[in-house]
Amino acid sequence: MIKATIITIGDEILIGQIVDTNSVSIAKHLNRAGITVEEKISIGDTADQIERTLRHALQQSQIVIITGGLGPTKDDITKHTLAHFFSSAMHEDKTVAEHVRSMLEKRGIVFNELNRSQAMVPDCCKVLFNAHGTAPGMWFEDTQGNVVVSLPGVPFEMEHLMEDEVMPRLKSHFELHANIHRTMITSGLPESMLAEAIAEWEDSLPSDIKLAYLPAPNIVRLRLSTYDAASGEVAREKIDTLFEQLYKIIPEYIVGFEDASVQALIHEILVQSGKTLAVAESCTGGTIASRFTAMAGSSAYFLAGIVAYANEAKRDILGVNFDDIKQYGAVSEQVARQMAEGARRISGADYAIATTGIAGPSGGSAEKPVGTVWMAIATPNKTITRLRQCGTDRGQIVNRASAYAIEMLYKELKKEAV
Amino acid sequence: MIKATIITIGDEILIGQIVDTNSVSIAKHLNRAGITVEEKISIGDTADQIERTLRHALQQSQIVIITGGLGPTKDDITKHTLAHFFSSAMHEDKTVAEHVRSMLEKRGIVFNELNRSQAMVPDCCKVLFNAHGTAPGMWFEDTQGNVVVSLPGVPFEMEHLMEDEVMPRLKSHFELHANIHRTMITSGLPESMLAEAIAEWEDSLPSDIKLAYLPAPNIVRLRLSTYDAASGEVAREKIDTLFEQLYKIIPEYIVGFEDASVQALIHEILVQSGKTLAVAESCTGGTIASRFTAMAGSSAYFLAGIVAYANEAKRDILGVNFDDIKQYGAVSEQVARQMAEGARRISGADYAIATTGIAGPSGGSAEKPVGTVWMAIATPNKTITRLRQCGTDRGQIVNRASAYAIEMLYKELKKEAV
């Protein structure tokens, strides 16, 4: 089994100033190629700790991917530390120097000594050309054939280097087997009841197949995994068979497969049916619109979103009756219904989603506490509404209300399809 | 110096299926209390690896915080592994059992053997009551007084346990010193030129003060840090003085302080001035609206957002001239301008932000490649427009275009304030 350790470097990770998404993307790349990530480690910008962690990583894995610490400033020490670790001198790489100079020129930036230092690389490494930035990637091999790769921490640059340079080289350097994962998305059964329902099947799983439960608001994902299969084809067939069995046990609770979010399932349905969608949001503040528009191709069906935060916006843009707002409150079934219907009307969309609620931290009352959210779905035939409690924390309320409202549309579309 | 290691457990982290935000939140909590995070480690659900990593963590730190692996299903092994590590038997905790039963009853879920297992805890641990979920937190102490805390992986439950249970106990268990960080947000100077501008000041920094450069699209954050200061007050004064010096070197490039995002700076300005805001988005698809509405109190000034994805929505909702769309294209200065002005008009807001661009992956042309974004700011006095290239990847384009457009409004507000 070919194993990898991912090391992300930067004090900003250790003090919680940034969320580390680099290691997520690297883990995905490695996994898809059949490389098993043994451990992910985040450490600070200190030479000692970097060398110690690198030694630990090389004891347990044949591949080490390091990101961060390659900038031009003093707090960036990864490159020199790696040169020291591999007992290597450094030299200026002419291609990199030329590339840095031309990149900076285009942006109107003066080429100075600090930029020049970006072109210095350890003699013993192979330079990985960074077309999208000034810090080159580096590929080291030790005497045992283990590989250490150093990449810049800027996510976009790292991503391109992984895809264009690192993965092709890893695939030719190592003989890779397959890691196979398949995921089923269930909704409607809490984790413990789901586990009971599939207990017999779970107990009969072969030892090389791992089952994982991944609970999230309103859904539980079930993932079957096998690592380092000699034949990817055989392993996939085996997992497919088990997956079929699982499906037959709980067919009514399956809402999707693999990484598909519920909005991705709706995306598929709308693209194929040629129907269109609009959104009217109050408390979710644009989150539902952004979840749909984040998907490439959503312009085929997503016509418009209205974030009607002020009551006047609900009235003037969506046509909500102001007397109803006064009588029932902005957070009410009546307003949610009229928002959904208004969004359909002004956009001409076939379907509309609406949310209106109290995201907090203030604005709650005994009758309508923080977290109270009315949601509505308007279709060509009817409008349905629902009241849901979405939690106590502002971010949580926005996320849950968005997820619930999107799921409500999904269920409606599924019913119509029957 | 009191050091901590954070261990997050779950195969889903190692295969890149989820982004680990738990460790970010834990790191923030620990840092604020003066505890230095030495290392963050993510490992899989295997007993061996958990025990090995725990031993490593206890060699380098007095505090170990573990999240994940506490669910009721078979893949959750953290609790039993910790019992084994501390050579402890387990028993059923009556309070937890009662709590789990009553939580499940409210949700209409049957209490079964798996749920009952949630109430089993190692004899040697102190149970940390999880008011928001079924898996209790656990507090262990070894013979040297080191502390190991195990928390559920559900972010919301983990967060409450950290705040209500773990931090107060850590503060009374250890004598804590202060970690002080201050961050200045600069815009307008690339990292290398910024470093040149402040080189003399940087060279004169005392050895116990660390300077970090944190580049992001369009901005560079400069963070001064000192760890484990005997007197928090003295350390803060020292950092404040250095901060003042830094400010005086590059006053024209400072756009904010601490973690304040540019939208948070705008939020402050609008709340204080009583002015209002509307947003008209095409390619950014609701992201700008959601960034403002994510902030508590934004309803004071955020009136409305329009995601005008379809050309008809641009015309019918925002009043964009359809002939202009046909003549210049939806991605044009004319349309951006009319979107911003339309958003002001229909919402009655003082200011409006508009974006229209090509988020890709398709829809680009030689003249207007993917990443082309026109943005506009409408104010009571004028409308300004700008064309920017925002990258090549859909997510990156949405994020950059949002950041650039928000920054454009910020600069305008600052000019007006002068």
Q: Please name the helix (run of DSSP H) or strand (run of DSSP E) that holds residue B66, with its range, or none.
A: strand B63-67
Could you tell me if B161 and B23 lie in one domain?
Answer: yes
DSSP bridge partners of A368: none
pLDDT at B416 over 90: no
Q: Of the candidates B184, B182, B187, B181, which has an alpha carbon nearest to the alpha carbon of residue B256?
A: B184
pLDDT at B142 over 90: yes
Mean pLDDT across the stretch B112-136? 89
CA distance B370 to chain A (A): 12
Q: What is the pTM of this model?
A: 0.73
Q: Do B103 and B119 form a contact (C-beta atoms < 8 A)?
A: no
Q: Of the candidates B43, B45, B39, which has an alpha carbon nearest to the alpha carbon of residue B4?
A: B39
- Measure the CA–CA gap between A24 and A155, rounded to whole angstroms: 11
Could you tell me if B39 and B143 lie in one domain?
Answer: yes
Could you tell me if A338 and A376 lie in one domain?
Answer: yes
**pLDDT tens per residue across span A266-315:** 999 999 999 999 999 999 999 999 999 999 999 999 999 999 999 999 99
pLDDT at B168 over 70: yes
Mean pLDDT across the stretch B323-350? 97
For the domain that residue B199 is a member of, what is the CATH number? Answer: 3.30.70.2860
Distances (CA, A) of A369 to A148, A324, B92, B169: 54, 20, 35, 31
B302 vs A: CB within 8 A: yes
For the domain that residue B108 is a member of, what is the CATH number? Answer: 3.40.980.10
- Measure the CA–CA gap between A275 and A201, rounded to whole angstroms: 39
**Chain-chain contact of B346 with A156 (C-beta, under 8 angstroms):** no
**Cβ neighbours around A68 below 10 Å, total:** 27
Could you tell me if B268 and B377 lie in one domain?
Answer: yes
A133 vs B: CB within 8 A: no
Q: Of the candidates B44, B51, B153, which has an alpha carbon nearest to the alpha carbon of residue A227?
A: B44
- Give Dmax over CA atoms of chain A in angstroms: 79
Scanning every residue of chain B, which has its alpha carbon at the shortest distance from the alpha carbon of A202? B74
- Report which of residues B6 and A403 the model is more confident about: B6
Which residue, of B205, B240, B257, is where some domain finishes?
B257
- Measure the CA–CA gap between B224 and B242, rounded to whole angstroms: 9
Q: Do A279 and A353 form a contact (C-beta atoms < 8 A)?
A: yes
Mean pLDDT across the stretch B81-108? 90
Residue in B41, B285, B306 nearest the CB of A41 = B41
- Long-range contacts of residues B99-105, Cβ cutoff 8 Å, at least 24 apart: B99/B129, B99/B130, B99/B134, B100/B134, B103/B133, B103/B134, B104/A190, B104/A192, B104/B134
- Measure the CA–CA gap between B393 and B373, rounded to whole angstroms: 13
Structure tokens at A201: 């099947």
In the prediction, which pLDDT does A351 show? 98
- Measure the CA–CA gap between A152 and A69, rounded to whole angstroms: 7
Could you tell me if A111 and A202 lie in one domain?
Answer: no
A18's CB contacts (< 8 A; 6+ apart) are A10, A12, B24, B214
Name the domain count of chain A. 3
In the prediction, which pLDDT does A418 show? 65
Could you tell me if A17 and A158 lie in one domain?
Answer: yes
Could you tell me if A290 and A379 lie in one domain?
Answer: yes
B251's CB contacts (< 8 A; 6+ apart) are none
In the prediction, which pLDDT does A384 show? 97
Kindly give the confidence (pLDDT) of every residue in chain A, 418 residues in length, as a single tens digit, with 9 standing for 90 and above.
899 999 999 988 998 888 888 999 999 999 989 899 999 999 998 999 999 999 999 999 999 999 998 887 777 899 999 999 999 999 999 999 999 888 888 777 777 877 888 899 999 999 999 988 889 999 999 999 999 999 999 888 899 999 999 999 999 999 888 888 899 988 878 888 899 999 999 999 998 898 988 887 678 889 999 887 878 788 889 999 998 899 889 888 887 777 678 899 899 999 999 999 999 999 999 999 999 999 999 999 999 999 999 999 999 999 999 999 999 999 999 999 999 999 999 999 999 999 999 998 889 999 999 999 999 999 999 999 999 988 777 887 898 899 889 989 998 998 887 6
For the domain that residue A370 is a member of, what is the CATH number? Answer: 3.90.950.20
Which residue, of A173, A195, A218, is where some domain finishes?
A173
Q: How many CA atoms lie within 13 A of B185 on its CB side?
A: 16
pLDDT at B406 over 70: yes
Could you tell me if B168 and B185 lie in one domain?
Answer: no
Could you tell me if A182 and A241 lie in one domain?
Answer: yes
Could you tell me if B245 and B267 lie in one domain?
Answer: no
Residue in B191, B196, B304 nearest the CB of A313 = B304
Q: Do A360 and A379 form a contact (C-beta atoms < 8 A)?
A: no
A 259-288 residues with CB < 8 A to B: 259, 279, 281, 284-288
Range of the domain at B21: 3-173
CA distance A15 to chain B (A): 5
Which residue, of A229, A257, A285, is where some domain finishes?
A257
In the prediction, which pLDDT does B396 show? 79
**Chain-chain contact of A39 with B26 (C-beta, under 8 angstroms):** no
pLDDT band at B376 (very low <50, low <70, confident <90, very high): very high
Residues of A in contact with B317 (CB under 8 A): 304, 306, 317, 346-347
Residue in B154, B212, B391 nearest the CB of A12 = B212
Give me the residue label for tokens 């970006």. A118
Could you tell me if B228 and B210 lie in one domain?
Answer: yes
**pLDDT tens per residue across span A92-115:** 999 999 998 888 887 777 778 778
**pLDDT tens per residue across span B297-327:** 999 999 999 999 999 999 999 999 999 999 9
- Measure the CA–CA gap between B351 and B291, rounded to whole angstroms: 16
**pLDDT tens per residue across span B211-225:** 988 887 677 889 999
Kindly report the backbone phi and psi dihedral angles of residue A139, in degrees, each rounded to the nearest multiple of 5, phi listed first.
-120, 120
B353's CB contacts (< 8 A; 6+ apart) are B277, B278, B279, B280, B288, B340, B343, B375, B376, B377, B405, B406, B408, B409
CA distance B380 to chain A (A): 19
Q: Helix (H, G, I), strand (E, B), or coil: what is residue A363? A: coil
Mean pLDDT across the stretch B244-263? 83
pLDDT at B388 over 70: yes
Could you tell me if A240 and A269 lie in one domain?
Answer: no
Phi-psi domain of A340 (left: phi exceeds 0; alpha: psi -120 through 50; beta: other)? alpha
